[in-house]
């Protein structure tokens, strides 16, 4: 079983456990009573402002192990907001990542759009993301059939959310575009080996049509990495481990944005 297959299976099991506690109809009622979340796509669209930053709350990972397991999502999100982040990504998968759904609500308290990053394969997971205050959800093309991808994209739109549709190669990118994705995530990490090749973004970017927002994910650690990606023309960068390992995440984010270190 590949890492992705294992992660998707674990995600389904976690969702099934939550379904037994809170029904989809209860989530729908909660969403109906909630205020609209801030727009994720608008926050990360580059325009004339330069490359945007999505700062990630990631307590641990399968490739790096424990990073900051006891971190407070609220405090980190406030640090990121002070450092100039444009949006927050929150890993909610317990399996390998030590995340929790409550981290969405905590991070949303900083006032920035929040992306729920998880192995989402069920409509229920999109509903619970919106009910917790997320502005967007991550959808991984390699984890979904073409029909499932369209279904989840449509549901996110109906709920007033965006979807960051992640791909790891040209085939995944083609499926994302065919499904109508308006925000594409190019992940530089190989799903099988978990190794990172930052050149993945450069190879795939010419295949993305104008008007689609592009986010480069994984392997962005230094100011030189930020400058390189900005020169390629991506809209936004998703940065996690480099910030999570910093003693002062806000200052580290400022350094990356200013082109230092």
> Residue 191: what pLDDT?
81
Determine whether 23 is an active site residue.
no
Q: Which listed residue (14, 79, 128, 166) is catalytic? A: 166
What are the residues facing 166 on neighbouring strands?
140, 185
Determine whether 58 is an active site residue.
yes
Q: Give the CATH number for residue 116.
A: 3.20.20.70
Q: Which listed residue (11, 93, 135, 187) is catalytic? A: 187
> Residue 106: what pLDDT?
95
Ranges 56-65, 78-87, 236-245: which has the least confidence: 56-65
Determine whether 28 is an active site residue.
no
Determine whether 56 is an active site residue.
yes
Q: Which listed residue (11, 14, 56, 93) is catalytic? A: 56
Determine whether 217 is an active site residue.
yes
Q: Say how many domains are in the chain.
A: 1
Determine whether 192 is an active site residue.
no
Q: Which listed residue (135, 188, 216, 218) is catalytic? A: 218
Q: Domain range holding 20?
A: 3-258
Determine whether 187 is an active site residue.
yes
> Residue 260: what pLDDT?
65
Stretch 76-97: mean pLDDT:
92
Stretch 63-77: mean pLDDT:
82
The answer, yes or no, to whether residue 67 has pLDDT greater than 90, is no
- pTM (predicted TM-score): 0.95
pLDDT tens by residue, 121-151: 999 999 999 999 999 999 999 999 999 999 9
Of all residues in the chain, the percent with pLDDT exceeding 70 is 97
């Amino acid at each position: 079983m590949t890492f992705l297959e294992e992660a998707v299976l674990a995600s389904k099991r976690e969702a099934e456990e939550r379904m037994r506690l809170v029904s989809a109809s209860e989530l729908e009622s909660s969403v109906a009573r909630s205020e609209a979340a801030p727009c994720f796509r608008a926050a990360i669209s580059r325009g004339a402002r330069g490359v945007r930053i999505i700062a990630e709350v990631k307590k641990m990972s399968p490739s790096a192990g424990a990073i900051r397991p006891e971190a407070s999502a609220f405090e980190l999100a406030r640090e990121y907001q002070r450092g100039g982040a444009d949006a927050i990504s929150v890993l909610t998968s317990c399996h390998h990542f030590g995340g929790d759904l409550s981290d969405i609500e905590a991070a949303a308290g900083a006032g920035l759009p929040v992306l729920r990053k998880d192995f989402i394969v069920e409509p229920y997971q999109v509903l619970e993301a919106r009910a917790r205050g997320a502005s967007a959800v991550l959808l991984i093309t390699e984890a979904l059939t073409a029909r499932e991808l369209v279904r989840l994209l449509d549901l996110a739109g109906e709920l007033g959310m965006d979807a960051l549709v992640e791909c790891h190669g040209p085939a995944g990118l083609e499926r994302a575009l065919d499904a109508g994705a308006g925000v594409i995530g190019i992940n530089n990490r190989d799903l099988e080996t978990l190794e990172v090749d930052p050149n993945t973004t450069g190879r795939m970017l010419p295949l993305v049509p104008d008007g689609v927002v592009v986010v480069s994910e994984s392997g962005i650690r230094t100011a030189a990495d930020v400058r390189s990606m900005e020169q390629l023309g991506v809209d936004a960068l998703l940065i996690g481990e480099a910030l999570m390992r910093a003693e002062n995440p806000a200052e580290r984010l400022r350094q990356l944005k200013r082109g230092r270190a």
